Structure 1
């Protein structure tokens, strides 16, 4: 797998969090923050020597992300998580069906 393809797959793991019903949970914020730190650090799991800095970065980014989610506003109606998940599954099925051909 080429680096560019691998990077785009990793980026897909970070999901939009704003303007969904129900609102984003702290677990979802933390998961997105973890994916971001993994991406920028290049570590899926850091060594013991880097674990403290890695976890601190995840915690700080989660806090910043939570504040951002709490402060953003929109006039658009919230999106339904189940509907958006179904759309994503449909897109993935089409994408992987074409790649398999």
Structure 2
């Protein structure tokens, strides 16, 4: 999985449309191998991003859980700690 694609479900506040689109863009970039597609492939690339965004929105809206929503600030701090441990930054 792409390291840049983040979990978007069950957060407080919920994922924004921009976050969902950004994750869809990363997914399509990974699948296609393009960071920026050529003009010949731009329409197909953009259509794929739109379709993946719609599918992700549908998925997130239809999921349910009994777990309490995770706090974005706390999860961000956990990620920073993991990064410091992994890469040895003080």
Query: TM-score, structure 2 length as denominator?
Result: 0.95
Q: Deviations over 1:18-44 (max 9, x none)?
A: 000000100000000000000000001
- The corresponding residue for 2:9 is 18
Structure 1 residue 69 corresponds to structure 2 residue 60: yes
Match of 1:56 among 39, 47, 55: 47
Consecutive unaligned residues in structure 2, runs of 5 or more: none
Structure with the larger helix share: 1
Aligned length: 89
Q: Distance in 1 between matches of 2:39 and 2:79?
A: 36
Consecutive unaligned residues in structure 1, runs of 5 or more: 1-7
Q: Distance in 1 between matches of 2:86 and 2:43?
A: 38
